[in-house]
Structure 1
């Protein structure tokens, strides 16, 4: 298959979208598919306002069209609703090429946190973007049901995986954790307002709180919480060692569509403390035994009160967490991705779009 993937999120960004796409591309290449990546690395970029570590392509419309015209894909997957995503969408509509999209990020809720404007004001943008997509890929069934209430009904499942050789319960520990007072509670992810980190950092629990990650709120939170250990961004073996060195993982986000760090932590043998919201509930279930309620012991504490969730998670079994986390694989996730993309190519040709490309 000749598949083009258009994304505004790519290296050097460190987030779930980039990890998902990069792992999927590796698996697609292994299976013999021909993939053309259209990313910000191929354009002049400018820092995203309020988030300088994310760089957006400048006026990518003609560059995207030139790349797609040269590659002549059978189908295009558009991963993000940014400048590159909108440009690829316009090319597909103009040429009658089928395309799929993904709903990785709750952009309306993120925008609401950053601007103070109601999320409802941003949803029409999402609805317009995804309306012509042959399949909108979602990480969880709950997210698909939510999008259906917004008129986005053509959803298909696309779960996530982990690198089992990396995220495992055995191996070296991170030296930064060696002398920290126990228990150690860990959060990994973007240090930004939409991640609700204060719910974790304000929790009244004994021990040491550690945050791994970078983002626009890092310096502010370092000043406000001097007792918290902020290690900055880690990757590879250093990140895996950080997971193994902690006693529980804390995920306070209320806006993530999935939470890849949750399954990385579980596979590393860390019980999880989380809030009962979409994302964590789709992985952990209400009772911390997974959505199928098939674990003999709880692997997470899902509570409305973050302090209570952490206290419970610290008493849970690490072995059960590792067994549960090991269920997630990139092979299975890529099977779902290919199923959605191939279904888009099998459908009859759509009528020419009426809106301007």
Structure 2
């Protein structure tokens, strides 16, 4: 099939959406499908207000002709940004079917950054964007239930995976405890809740974002490494004693799976995301007292963490994605096509 994915998030951004779409595209091509990703790299862009590292496409009149020229069999809208809206508008006006996905808890993020904007406005925005979608993909059963309570419909499960070739157990367990955070340095990620903890050993921070300068100034004892990718990121996970995941608003948290695949247990709050990824007392410790969770996670079996992560491959995730896709005429992808992909 010819599969078009439209996303406002793509390289050089480093986040879970980009990681998921890159892995998905690789697996789909491995199945023999032709995949095109329409991203800000194909357009003129301007910096996102208050978040300049995110480029926003503005010559959106080119979206429709680009979809038409590619002649896709199916289209997936990965984000609710300018490109997603432009593609949605062009497809809807022609009565063409498409799928979409909710990768982030957008209303909670907006409310965290701008508290005067109520959650109800954010969810009204999500309902409007996803209303014409034939299927709306979400990462976990808990998220499907949560979004349904806010009036979103046609929700289906598309679980994420981990690159087991890259993220693997290595014999580099540190003598001194190393507590690691990996992700964007932004207010909604609640990184300060980790950095303010009184913990033994060292605190390592991998990532970047609008809060980096503020956090570095406030917590000079922590080591900030900026964005890391590929083998460097795998090494960062492998050298850590515990991955600390302080966010309360993530829909999933791919970095937890990546850490577990390296044998590194996770400490987190007992909220959606960690509750969906972790097995309490086995692969992680979830506690409203994050310091207590960090110290308890030091005692977990690293080998067991890797065993649990190995169950979730990107190939299985890509097959689940394919099974949810409608063709442009609204028909589901034929079962025979799925059998070819599996072969």
**TM-score, reference length from structure 1:** 0.89
1:83 alignment partner in structure 2: 82
Cα distance in 1 for residues equivalent to 2:12 and 2:50: 17
Matches within 5 A, 1:171-320: 182-285=176-279, 287-288=280-281, 298-320=282-304
How far is the alpha carbon of 1:75 from its aligned partner?
1.9
1:5 alignment partner in structure 2: 5
How far is the alpha carbon of 1:24 from its aligned partner?
0.5
**2:99–2:326 contact (8 Å) kept in structure 1:** no
2:170 alignment partner in structure 1: 170
Structure 1 residue ranges, 4+ long, deviating more than 6 angstroms after superposition = none
**1:74–1:98 contact (8 Å) kept in structure 2:** no
Residue 334 (structure 1) aligned to one of 299, 318, 329: 318
Cα distance in 1 for residues equivalent to 2:187 and 2:131: 29
How far is the alpha carbon of 1:74 from its aligned partner?
2.3
How far is the alpha carbon of 1:346 from its aligned partner?
2.0
**1:75–1:97 contact (8 Å) kept in structure 2:** no
How many correspondences in the alignment?
331
3-state SS of the aligned residue for 1:253? coil
Q: Which runs of 5+ in 1 are unaligned?
A: 289-297, 349-357
1:346 alignment partner in structure 2: 331
3-state SS of the aligned residue for 1:80? coil
How far is the alpha carbon of 1:72 from its aligned partner?
2.2
Q: Which runs of 5+ in 2 are unaligned?
A: 334-343
Cα distance in 1 for residues equivalent to 2:38 and 2:283: 39
1:44 alignment partner in structure 2: 44
Cα distance in 2 for residues equivalent to 1:262 and 1:347: 33
**9-18 or 106-115, which moves further after superposition?**
106-115
How far is the alpha carbon of 1:59 from its aligned partner?
3.5
How far is the alpha carbon of 1:36 from its aligned partner?
2.2
Q: Deviations for 1:30-74, whole angstroms, at most 9, x for unmatched residues?
A: 1111222210001011111111111110141x1101101112222
- CA-based RMSD of the aligned residues comes to 1.7
Cα distance in 1 for residues equivalent to 2:59 and 2:270: 40
**2:181–2:244 contact (8 Å) kept in structure 1:** yes
3-state SS of the aligned residue for 2:324? helix
Residue 325 (structure 1) aligned to one of 302, 309, 319: 309
How far is the alpha carbon of 1:120 from its aligned partner?
2.0
**TM-score, reference length from structure 2:** 0.93
**112-121 or 34-43, which moves further after superposition?**
112-121
3-state SS of the aligned residue for 2:321? helix
